[in-house]
Amino acid sequence: MLKVTPSLNNAHLGKNQLRVPKTTTMAQVWVVDSNCFIHIGSMAPDGFINDLATVLKEGSNGLYVTPGVHDEVRTVRFQRWYDKPNLLDKMRDLLITVTIDEEEVRELASKIGEKASPQDVDLSLMILASKMSMEGRKVTLVSDDFKMTTTGDKINLNFDTCPPSTFLQRLADLGSRGQRTRLRSLSRRVRAAEMRYAISRAGQYDIQAKLTWMVNSLLTSQTTSTPTIKGENVSNERKMIGALLRSINGEVVKKSMLKKLGKLPNVCAPVATLDEYLASMSSDGSSDDIQQEYDAAANILSEVLEKT
């Protein structure tokens, strides 16, 4: 059984109790790492806490952390707010803090291997997410640290992952019109920062795998669709992708297909800017200044991400 830390949060709960929202559908549990809070502190507008609290309550969502996260973000402030208040002071009532035994952290680190193992705080979050998933919760670990995703998959910890930008996007989808607008705007800014950071670390890990994971997490639908035959599903998916590409390129697309695509053509339209730049690079031949071309492409990518 997981143990809530009374000194940090939920002091009125029993030692071995977790508050589970009573709802007719399975509540979504978010286990959130320090990087997500750092992004929020840097970019969230005034009023973010009110939006977050309302969305979490109405969607029966819960935000879970471990004590190590408190330690790592204790000096983080809301940079865009008047007087720049401390982030933890404002968010503490929304967080459920759970202690993970140090022995469990050491055991997981040993199982993973010293070189491949994430930091202890990250390991505690992975253990928390895995335990809650085994209890039948719908759990997503929120982190832009790709190592936590790959490591969790390798040792079958059985939880989903997504970067902070996708977490904010999914919360936006649960909110009112105004909340959706504000949270999606924040999600786009965070996504651009995530992409810039990923590109800057291109020589240190498999950037293609990380970018694919980030994009796939954003595209993953939260709704349950009607089951279809696998071959038919793949065929329809290819048709829709082809129609989306034609729409972005300004070609004629059937009205029935446009209806299925919904808002995707408008949302994805800015991607054409990046395609045009890459096409011009190919037609112009090799560049004498690779770093300049790299920086230009990174800037265009950031602009595209902030618009999509």
- The domains located in the chain, with CATH, are 3-218 (3.40.50.1010), 227-307 (no CATH)
Is residue 69 within 8 Å of residue 87, measured between CB atoms? Answer: no
- Rounded to 5 degrees, φ, ψ at 97 are -100, 130
Apex 186 CA angle, 183 and 187, nearest 5: 85
Residues 64 and 219: their CA atoms lie apart, in Å, by: 24
The DSSP code sequence of 68-131 is HHHHHHTT-B-TTSTT--BHHHHHGGGEEEEE--HHHHHHHHHHH-TTT---HHHHHHHHHHHH
Q: Which helix (H) or strand (E) holds 222?
A: none
* Secondary structure (DSSP) of 2-30: -EE-TTTS-TTS-TT-------SSPPEEE
Threshold 0.85, pTM exceeds: no
Burial of 52 (0-12, 13-18, 19+ CB in 10 A): buried
Segment holding 137, helix H or strand E: none
Per-residue pLDDT of the chain (308 residues; tens, 9 = 90+): 455 554 344 433 333 334 433 333 467 899 999 999 999 999 999 999 999 999 998 877 899 999 999 999 999 999 999 999 999 999 999 999 999 999 999 999 888 886 777 889 999 999 999 999 999 889 999 998 877 877 777 777 888 889 999 999 999 999 999 999 999 999 999 988 888 887 777 666 666 777 777 777 766 644 333 344 444 454 676 777 777 777 777 788 888 888 887 877 777 777 666 666 656 655 555 555 556 665 666 666 666 666 65
CB neighbours of residue 184 within 10 Å? 17
Asked if 126 and 146 touch (Cβ cutoff 8 Å), the reply is no
Tokens of 153: 């998959």
Give the residue from 177, 174, 126, 172 showing the smallest Cα distance to 148: 126
